[in-house]
Amino acid sequence: MRNPEDLNSDDLISLNPDVAAKPLDERAKIFDMPAIGKVDTETRIPITGLTFAKLSAEIAQLGKEKYRAEQVFFWLYRRRIRKFEEMTNVSKDVRALLEEKFYIPHPPQINRQISKEDNAHKYLYRCTDERTIETVLMPIKDRLTQCVSSQVGCAMACAFCNTGDMGLMRNLKTHEIVDQVLEVARNYPNDIVQKFGDRITNIVYMGMGEPLHNLENVLDSIDILTHPNGFNISHRKITVSTSGLVPQMLELGKRSKVNLAVSLNATTDELRSEIMPVNKRYNLKALLDGCRAYELGPSRRITFEYVMLKGLNDSRQDAQRILTLLKGIPSKVNLIPYNPHPASPFLRPDLQEVKAFQQYLLDRNMTTTIRISKGPDILAACGQLRSKEALKSKYQEGRDRKAAAEKRSHQPSANA
């Protein structure tokens, strides 16, 4: 377990460096959060981890009326209250029973950074075991999208990804996924509220972690966030992104109607296995057969994400192979110019090259977008989420990879 006092320097409070110097309990006060050890998390259950069905069952077990679950959901997710006593239309005895068994989490915010470039907000929350979780709020045109984490770290070890370097520390519990959305919502900045009202419009499971490696908790969190008495976000506005865990992907398709995004990132097994070890388990054929079998709703498509790595996967042949690979799958392609991070050996292609790649696909009737990542100046962009401590410890490894990439960059890009 990480010692809370370790969280004291460059990880913290970029908005106000004075705060970073204070002890953790002091910081908790500044952010109006309970001090360490004050939340009784040992004996009580976090109520935001309960789906509506599970909460209804709990309330039935307490011998109370069914409609109480609706009331509780309303207070939790619409009014976003922090104490049971604020649930004023719930009778006192029910509140007391709830209080005995449950608590309402509000994870301490230990950092918030705002991108000067695009107003993306990156939040860092502390879990009860002192691990930290990152989530990013992204105002993009008429959408307010939140990118949530599903794990601390990630086991998939993709070579280009900052989170992948950390290894998997643990799965997030259902409530820890929901609490990212809830806690950010309790504190939406004024300019965001003025523009978007009191709720995000979209959720993407594209933060730290491989969501399908934590499928049950991810499904429960979706259940809670889509519930009409909860955040009431439509399934169509939620996207789960996977590196390609095929059986879990098929399971997701059976059990949920959210959008699926698949991180393709390479067009040959050779390169994909090199940069995404998951490909050794489920190769391109297995992955794309899985996509063909995926239960898509009417007029829905799978999004294929494609991180563009200069000189590695950005050639004309790659673009051609994308079209061949995706034949027969209702798909769209999302090109993500690689976001460099300090210890990384890969290079981002020029925007012109990315646009030429896009045009090639567009000309052949493949819907293709370019994702200009949010918050690059605060390391909030895809693949850049991780704690700085982990980053430092991997720095040497990064330098070794850089040397390997320099060798590779002598191979000409076929884009020319």
Residues engaged in binding ligand SF4 (CB under 6 A): 154, 156-158, 161, 163-164, 209-210, 243, 263, 383
Q: How far is the CB of 99 from ligand SAH (least distance, A)?
A: 37
Cα dist from 116 to 135, 178, 405, whole Å: 17, 27, 31
Closer to ligand SF4 by Cβ: residue 229 or 241: 241
Q: How far is the CB of 73 from ligand SAH (least distance, A)?
A: 28
Q: Is 183 a catalytic residue?
A: no
What does the binding site for ligand SAH look like in residue numbers (CB under 6 A)? 160-161, 206, 210, 241-243, 263, 265, 305, 307, 336, 338-339, 382-383
Minimum Å gap between C-beta 259 and ligand SF4 is: 16
Q: Which does 204 bind (CB under 5 to 8 A by kind): ligand SAH, ligand SF4, none?
A: none
Q: How far is the CB of 331 from ligand SF4 (least distance, A)?
A: 19
The CB-of-203 to ligand SAH minimum distance in angstroms stands at 13
Q: With CB cut-offs between 5 and 8 Å by kind, which of ligand SF4, ligand SAH, none does residue 134 bind?
A: none
Residue 265 interacting entry, from ligand SF4, ligand SAH, none, C-beta within 5 to 8 Å by type: ligand SAH
Catalytic residue, chosen from 147, 158, 291, 382, is: 382
Dihedral class, residue 296 (left if φ above 0, else alpha if ψ from -120 to 50, else beta): beta
Measured from the CB atom, the residue of 24 and 336 that comes closer to ligand SAH is 336
Nearest residue (CB) to ligand SAH, 13 versus 333: 333
> Which of the choices ligand SAH, ligand SF4, none does residue 338 contact, using the CB cut-off of 5 to 8 A by kind?
ligand SAH
- Closer to ligand SF4 by CB, 76 or 158: give it: 158
Nearest approach, Cβ of 241 to ligand SAH (angstroms)?
A: 4
Residue nearest to ligand SF4 (CB): 164
Please identify, using beta-carbon distances, which residue of 4 and 167 lies nearer to ligand SF4: 167
Identify the CA nearest to 338 among candidates 159, 124, 165.
Answer: 159
Give the HSE-up count for residue 355: Cα atoms under 13 Å, Cβ half-sphere: 3
Q: Nearer Cβ to ligand SF4, position 240 or 319?
A: 240
* Minimum gap (Å) between residue 24 Cβ and ligand SF4: 27
Among residues 134, 176, 183, 305, which one is catalytic?
134
116, with CB counted inside 10 A (0-12, 13-18, 19+), is exposed
Residue closer to ligand SAH, measured from CB, 267 or 339: 339
Is 382 assigned a catalytic role?
yes
How far is residue 326 from each of residues 95, 189, 320, measured CA to CA in Å? Answer: 53, 41, 10
Residue closest to ligand SAH, measured at CB: 383
| Secondary structure in 3-state letters for the chain | CCCHHHCCCCCCCCCCHHHHCCCHHHHHHHCCCCCCCCCCCCCCEEHHHCCHHHHHHHHHHCCCCCHHHHHHHHHHHHCCCCCHHHCCCCCHHHHHHHHHHEECCCCCEEEEEECCCCCCEEEEEECCCCCEEEEEEEEECCEEEEECCCEEECCCCCCCCCHHHHCEEEECCHHHHHHHHHHHHHCCCHHHHHHHCCCCCEEEECCCCCHHHHHHHHHHHHHHHHCCCCCCCCHHHEEEEECCCHHHHHHHHHHCCCEEEEECCCCCHHHHHHHCCHHHHCCHHHHHHHHHHCCCCCCCCEEEEEEECCCCCCCHHHHHHHHHHCCCCCEEEEEEECCCCCCCCCCCCCHHHHHHHHHHHHHCCCCEEECCCCCHHHCCCCCCCCCHHHHHHCHHHHHHHHHHHHHHCCCCCCCC
- CB-nearer residue toward ligand SF4: 154 or 378: 154
d(CA 215, CA 212): 5
Quick one: what does residue 114 bind among ligand SF4, ligand SAH, none, with the CB cut-off 5 to 8 Å set by partner type?
A: none
Catalytic residues: 134, 382
